Amino acid sequence: MSLKQIIVFLIFALLSIYTAFLNPHDTVIHITQNQSLKLPTVLLLLGSILIGVIVTVFMFWTFNFKSAIARWKINFKNNRIAKKNSNIETLFKKGENLFICGKTDKAKSIIEKLLDTSPEHVGALNLMGRVLSSTGKPDQAELLHKKVLTLEPQNIHALFDLADTYSKTGRQSEEIALLQKMQAMNPGTITPLIHLRDIYIKQEDWKKVCTLQKRVLPLLRENNEEWKKEQASLAQFFFESGKKNLQAGNRDNAISEFKQAIRTSEKCLPAYLSLGDTYLESGKQKQALKTWKTGFQKTGDKTCLVRSQIALRESDDYQDLMQTYEESFEAADQEDQPLLMLLLSTFYLEHGLEDKARNLLENNTPQHPLLHSLLLENVQQSEKHGSQFELTRDAIFALTGEPPVAVGNSPH
């Protein structure tokens, strides 16, 4: 019984006792015209209450029994549905695992079986679309992904897989539209942005690539390593944009993009090299030399020194570069010193400093014996313009990784 029923019962019991005290006389109950039953009033009232309680309890348990039967039927039905769904999900997971493991045929067989049982299972429909796409049937895959989106218009998996299908069939505009839709639906997610960025990279639309990359970076603040990697990528994208402007004859825009690449990542070597080359082609040798010097200081790449050396080959204003060379050689570790020694020796020979070149070569152990001996031979002959010296110098430049054949044309 509920608390409410107990309170009502107590109220009626108290009223009955109160009534019995006020009416102490017996009550006559006529059963028939000739038969009657005389009862005390209090007993009559208490008996009536007892009968009422018995009737109430009987009705309460009757209704509860009906409800229990109804609940049992519902639970039985729900259990059957849950068991069926559990079997379907187990089958789906098995098919998905097989597909991920590359067992496409087995996965397809299981998913077909699942769809016979549950033809509108969203996950199975989408997985079948992926299976068909992977087996060279993008048109059929597209139909299945679209069916999923009819059932669940915002299903992110179906949207991604449909975008992938568009990509495989060369429908980039439709792929871009889907990715933009996904990004609008989930503005805090990074994956659609990266996919969009990669599409524009293929199209070499570096302006859009840089715009999207700027939106990617704030989403990676919590992952410092990944953020640094993508920051370096943004610098590379700015460099590519500058290179494209340079090819189109937009030198000022190219310089601006190269500078932006360097501001984004101070270790963007291609930007230093190309910015210096562009300055040199514009007749701004001082800016070019300054750029390459900064590039060497920030990246440690010897190509920057080689660029400067070539630019100053016929110049008497080489003291600053010579100092940079010498300081770098003194500070270099055992791995870098041999190459810096050869580069500095060629620099000395180009500017008629044979004694310095001889002293450097004779007092350091060679790691490249052939080039070392050829340079010593050139020192002894005081020959800096002969073909042998030029071939030796070019071979040494090649050891830096990217021999600059002509200043102003960046190998990047």
> Would you list the domain boundaries of the chain?
1-25+39-50
> Residue 127 in 3-state DSSP?
helix
Check if the beta carbon of residue 158 is closer than 8 Å to that of residue 148.
yes
DSSP SS3 for 118: coil
Distance CA 189, CA 75 (A): 40
Q: Cα–Cα distances in Å, from 58 out to 44, 55, 99, 184, 251? A: 21, 5, 60, 61, 97
For the residues of 132-150, what is the DSSP string, one character each?
HHHTT-HHHHHHHHHHHHH
Angle at CA 232, nearest 5°, toward 307 and 263? 65
Asked if 404 and 307 count as a contact pair (C-beta separation under 8 A), the reply is yes
- The count of other CB atoms within 10 Å of the CB of residue 96 is 17
Give pLDDT, residue 287. 95
Sites in the chain below the pLDDT cut of 70: 1-6, 8-10, 12-33, 36-49, 51-53, 55-56, 66, 382-386, 402-412
Q: For residues 323 and 327, what is the distance between their CA atoms, to the nearest angstrom?
A: 6
What is the rounded distance in angstroms from the CA atom of residue 379 to the CA atom of residue 352?
A: 10
Structure tokens belonging to residue 134: 């992977």
Q: Which residues of 223-237 are buried (b: 16+ CB within 10 A; e: fewer)?
A: eeeebeebeebbbbb
Candidates 332, 398, 400; CA nearest to 360 is 332
Q: What's residue 26's pLDDT?
A: 64
Task: Indicate the burial class of 217 (C-beta count within 10 angstroms; 0-12, 13-18, 19 or more).
Answer: middle
Cβ-contact 239, 229 below 8 angstroms: no
Beta bridge partners of 37: 29
The pLDDT value given to residue 22: 59
- How many residues in total does the chain contain? 412
158 is written with which tokens?
Answer: 């179906």
In this prediction, residue 315 carries a pLDDT of 87
